[in-house]
Structures are given as C-alpha cells and as structure tokens.
Structure 1
Amino acid sequence: MTQAIEIKVLDKRLHEWGLPKYQTPLAAAIDLFACIEQPLQLKPQEAAVLIPSGIALHMDSRDFCAVILPRSGLGHKKGLVLGNSVGLIDADYTAQCFISVWNRNPASSNEIITIQPGERIAQMMFLPVVRPEFKVVEAFSTTSERGGGGFGSTGV
C-alpha cells in the first residue's frame, strides 16, 4: 500500500545531511535527524528534551498516523530513548515534528549522551488507523477464553 504524504523541509541542512528516507529496501521507518545548532549533552535521568526534526508532514488522510520511535542501537548501546516512550503524530497535525529524548542511564553512572547536529536520533513509522464505532452494552455479546483475566493470568 502506498500513500503520498507531503513532507515540508523546515531546516535546510537536511538537504546536506540527507532527507528522511528508508535506509534499506525493507526498513519499516525513516530516520529523523537532530536539527539542533550545537551539540547537546543529556545527563542521566534529567528531564526529557524536545529536539526539532526539521520536518512537518501533511498526511491528508484519516487512514494514517505516524509514530516516532527510538533507534534501537542508540537505546540499547547508549541509553538514548524517547521521553514519552512513543510519539504520536496525528494526520491533522501539520507543524514541525519534535523528538522527545531522554537519557535513561542511571544517575550514578554519569554517562552523558551527546547529540550532534545532524545525528540520526529517532525513527518515524507510518501506520494505518482504524476508527471503530463504539456500542455501549451492559454485557458483551460473546465471551473469550481469557475473559477478565489480567496481569499474569496466562502465566508469568
């Protein structure tokens, strides 16, 4: 399935660094760049910081959204994750996309993460959106094998 999505380049340096693109033919997400003016140091466990991506989107479809996810290598190897776990970009949001970043390393580690201008720090994936109609009921029309079993109900 292919959907045309307009991308507005807000930071002209992206023309030098490379526009957001899929890095391999089967990649699920595009990489996002840190559009900052100077290196940024993130100390462990300090408040999350918003970093501009340098792009704005116009999806123009109620059938899509975008999510911002951490880059797995930066998260696993350096401790750079998203301050909000996953960022959601609704189809009707057309301003600049920002990346909330956080240094998850223990405060006692003193492991500072330095983000360089133009560094690929997150990724954006486009997903289909399903908007079900809700029907308020007193009881569900059918049952499931699991029923109301919650945390740990199927084993640990």
Structure 2
Amino acid sequence: MADDTSTQATAVWPIAKFYFQVQWDSQVMCFQEVSGLDVETQDIDYRAGAPSNDSSPTFSAIKMPGLKKQSNVTMKKGLFKLDNRFWDWFNQIKLNTTKRLPITISLLDEAGGTTMVWTLSHAWPTKITATNLDSDGNEVAIESIEIAHEGISMDTP
C-alpha cells in the first residue's frame, strides 16, 4: 500500500530560512539578511620527530585540530529615516575600547516559535556600509554592518 503522507512527521521537512529575528542587546531589530554564521577549526600538520610504534610507516604528517576561528557576521537592513543605531554604536569605538553587546539570531518556524538560536558573545562593529546611490535605480536603500565577536554558540530550544 502506498504512503499517502497523512501521518508524515513535521520533522521530515527542512526549516525555511526566511523567518528570523535578531535581538540586539535588549531590542529586537529587523534585518533583510544575516550571513557569516560559521565557525571552523584550523588544521595543524604534525609529524613526530623520532620514529616509534605510533608514527606513520609512510613518514607523512598527520592532521590535528588547532584553534577555532569564527567569521565576522554581516547583517543587512533597509535604511529608515532617523535610524542611526549602526552609526551610534560604531562611533563609540575609542582607542581599543567599545561597547560590546550580546547578539542573538533566532530562526523561527511558521508559528513564530524559535527553532534554532545563534548567540554572538561580546560583539562589536568593524565596518558599516551605507547604501549605494543610483539615480537610475528604484530599489530600497540597504545598509549593512559587519560584526566581530568573541565566539558563536548554537542552541536548539
């Protein structure tokens, strides 16, 4: 008998990526796009100096995990009149000191419930890109901010 999918679990389908929210310190902000939520471990080539029973018979190096490295996170949003939050935060950078904030990015399901949460610890702005100006265009003005952070964690509530 063929499966009519009436009893199919909701966990079978992938989560859509277009419904998300960003909590910036204590306020929720709307963004068009968030990218750079990645982490990697650098690999180290290692070869023992003296032959032993554990060393490779082919005299080649082995790979070992090294330091973790996170990318900067880029967020893009529409430009609104009198909304200077990016610039206000960026202008607080003074001689190696700045206000560092926790930033939480939540992927939501169709009902608005949280499915996955990425948290950036001690985040601060490294770059702001204002919109490009084009007299022939008819697009919405988009600004972006690049965020450096001291670590990213992912949780599934």
Q: Which has the higher strand share?
A: 2
**TM-score normalised per structure 1:** 0.24
**TM-score normalised per structure 2:** 0.24
